[in-house]
Amino acid sequence: MNIKELYKNIILDHGTSPRNRFRLQNFNHETIGSNPLCGDKVHIFFNVIDDLIDQISFVGEGCAICIASSSVMTEVLQNKSKKEVVAISKYFINVIINKNHTFPNFLEQDNKTKLDSFMSIGEFPTRIKCATLPWIAIESELEKKSK
């Protein structure tokens, strides 16, 4: 596995120039994901209107992979329903861990490409958590609220 595979253009782009890295003015959900071992920490804000994510953003510190994953997440989850968020999250984690490609049919091709660019992280076991951190945080927030 070439190291350049890991730091692909999309990851490098989002990792060093992340999108939506600010605190939302209005939000009705927030959640924090952190990895004490390495110090990665992201704080995610999102606003749900009529079961759809209207706005979503994040702030935080972390490695390029964690920041890129958070940034890509905020783009991909725009206008998705809670159910879709969970499905996409499962897809993303599956892509990395099991290289499983059966993707949710509502997922747009360009978003799928963004997510798939994280695939090679599966080859770097200690970095998997960096990528999944924001996704696990948002999943657990949604599960909590639906209980």
Partner 1 sequence: MIKNIKEEFPIFKNKINGKDLVYLDSANSSQKPQSVIDAVSFFYSNEFANVGRGIYTLAVNASDKYEKTRSNLKKFIGASSDCEIIFTKNATESLNLVASCFGEKFIEKNDEIILTETEHHANYVPWDFLRKRKGAIIKFLPIDEDGNLKVDELEKLISNKTKIISITHMSNVTGAITPLEKIIEIAKKNNIPVCVDGTQGAAHLDIDIKKMNCDFYAFSGHKMYGPTGVGLLAIKYKWLEAFDPFMGGGGMIDYVTKKNIAYARGVWKMEAGTMPTAEVVALNESINFINKIGKKNIIEHEKKLTQIALEKLRSNNSVRIIAKPKNQGGVFSFNINNIHSHDVSTILDQEGIAVRGGHHCCQVLHEVLKINSSVRVSFGVYNNESDIDALCDGIKKCQKIFKK
- Residues interacting with partner 1, by CB under 8 A? 3-4, 6-7, 9, 12-13, 15-16, 34, 36-40, 61-65, 67, 124-127, 130
Distance CA 55, CA 41 (A): 20
84: how many CB neighbours lie within 10 A of its CB?
18
Nearest residue (CB) to partner 1, 7 versus 27: 7
Could you give the 3-state DSSP secondary structure of residue 103?
Answer: coil
Least distance to partner 1 from the beta carbon of 85, Å? 24
Residue 101 CB partners (closer than 8 Å, separation 6+): 95, 116
The least CB distance from residue 95 to partner 1, in Å, is 19
Query: What is the distance between the alpha carbons of residues 60 and 104, in angstroms, rounded to a whole number?
Result: 29
Q: Which is nearer to partner 1, 17 or 113 (CB)?
A: 17
Comparing CB distances to partner 1, the nearer of 46 and 62 is: 62
